[in-house]
């Protein structure tokens, strides 16, 4: 991971970013990070947070933040607020598939809570439609051995499992943050992300951002990514001096200065 000062963005047209511990600090977006989102939008860039958080939790932020959309639940569902229209939900899976997966996931969630001491569903679980989440660092602290056990249990049930800075997420389906990014660009603007990957930035902070770090040449980790350094097969290309929301603000400032967009 190279220092952010070495980053030469070039002609960037949009920014994808994680939310928890990337935009937020101690669970809330900071004024500098919120201003950074506004500055990016004012400069004419597309801005799309993409998160493992549930769609229900994401709704007020999709309404109030200066962003084009929020892609929630690791790429499964998007909230779009455009042109003064009411907030819209878009899904990658059809309703019948979501219903069948939801029923099975609740069984897996209950089994994990019963079989792994200390494992508890995340407090935002009521807002989840397409995945489940076990808390490991938000309100409950799980040791690494138990985090690994939860991942194994999800995978044994046939689920995809990832670990964010606060939760262990599991779901049925092939979607992830990268497929969610590809999908929302096609849905909103008819754009092919793979054809223009070099013109987009991704900012994140944990192991569930690795698929994005791997594919984006302009990938940046905020400083708290160092917590997961030994677990990263694909680290970000660059790292900020500061952690969390302050680090995101540094990314926005560097991008706008180096791209002559400010």
Q: Are residues 123 and 77 in the same domain?
A: no
Q: Are residues 88 and 205 in the same domain?
A: yes
Dihedral sign, Cα of residue 43, residue 18, residue 66, residue 181: positive
Q: What is the pTM of this model?
A: 0.92
Q: Are residues 88 and 47 in the same domain?
A: yes
E-assigned strands of the chain? 2-3, 14-17, 24-25, 28-29, 46-49, 69-72, 77-80, 88-91, 132-135, 160-163, 167-171, 200-204, 218-221, 238-239
28 DSSP β-pair partners:
25
State the average pLDDT for the chain. Answer: 95
| CA pair distance 36, 54, nearest whole angstrom | 23
Of 106, 140, 170, which marks where a domain is finished? 170
Q: Are residues 87 and 184 in the same domain?
A: yes
Q: Are residues 112 and 207 in the same domain?
A: no
Find the domain containing 231 and state its range.
2-92+175-258
Residue 53 · residue 21 · CB < 8 Å:
no
Q: Are residues 76 and 183 in the same domain?
A: yes
Q: Are residues 185 and 254 in the same domain?
A: yes
Per residue in 58-101, pLDDT (tens digit) is 999 999 999 999 999 999 999 997 767 788 999 999 999 999 99
| CA pair distance 22, 156, nearest whole angstrom | 30
- With bands split at pLDDT 50, 70 and 90, how would you rate the model's confidence at 258? confident
Grouping H, G, I as helix, E, B as strand and the rest as coil, residue 160 is strand
Residue 23 · residue 222 · CB < 8 Å:
no
Per residue in 159-186, pLDDT (tens digit) is 999 999 899 999 999 999 999 999 999 9
Angle at 164 between CA 162 and CA 167, to 5 degrees: 90
């Amino acid at each position: 991971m190279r220092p952010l000062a070495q980053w030469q963005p070039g002609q960037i047209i949009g920014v994808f970013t994680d939310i928890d511990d990337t935009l937020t600090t101690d669970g809330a977006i900071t004024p500098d990070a919120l201003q950074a989102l506004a500055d990016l939008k004012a400069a004419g860039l597309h801005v799309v947070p993409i998160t493992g958080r549930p769609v229900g939790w994401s709704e007020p932020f999709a309404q109030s933040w200066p962003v084009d959309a929020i892609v929630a639940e690791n790429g499964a569902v998007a909230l779009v607020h455009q042109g003064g229209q009411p907030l819209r939900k878009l899904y990658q899976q059809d309703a019948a598939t979501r219903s069948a997966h939801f029923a099975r996931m609740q069984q897996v969630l209950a089994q994990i809570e019963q079989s792994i001491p200390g494992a508890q569903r995340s407090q935002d679980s009521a807002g989840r439609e397409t995945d489940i989440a076990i808390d490991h660092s938000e309100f409950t602290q799980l040791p690494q051995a138990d985090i690994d056990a939860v991942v194994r249990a999800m995978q044994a049930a046939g689920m995809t499992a990832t670990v964010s800075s606060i939760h262990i997420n599991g779901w049925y389906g092939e979607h992830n943050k990268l497929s969610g990014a590809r999908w929302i660009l096609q849905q909103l603007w008819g754009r092919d992300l793979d054809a223009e990957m070099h013109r987009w930035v991704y900012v994140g902070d944990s192991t569930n951002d690795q698929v994005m770090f791997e594919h984006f040449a302009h990938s940046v980790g905020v400083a708290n990514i160092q917590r997961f350094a030994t677990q990263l097969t694909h680290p970000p290309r660059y790292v900020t001096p500061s952690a969390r929301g302050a680090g995101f603000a540094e990314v926005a400032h560097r991008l706008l200065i180096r791209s002559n967009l400010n």
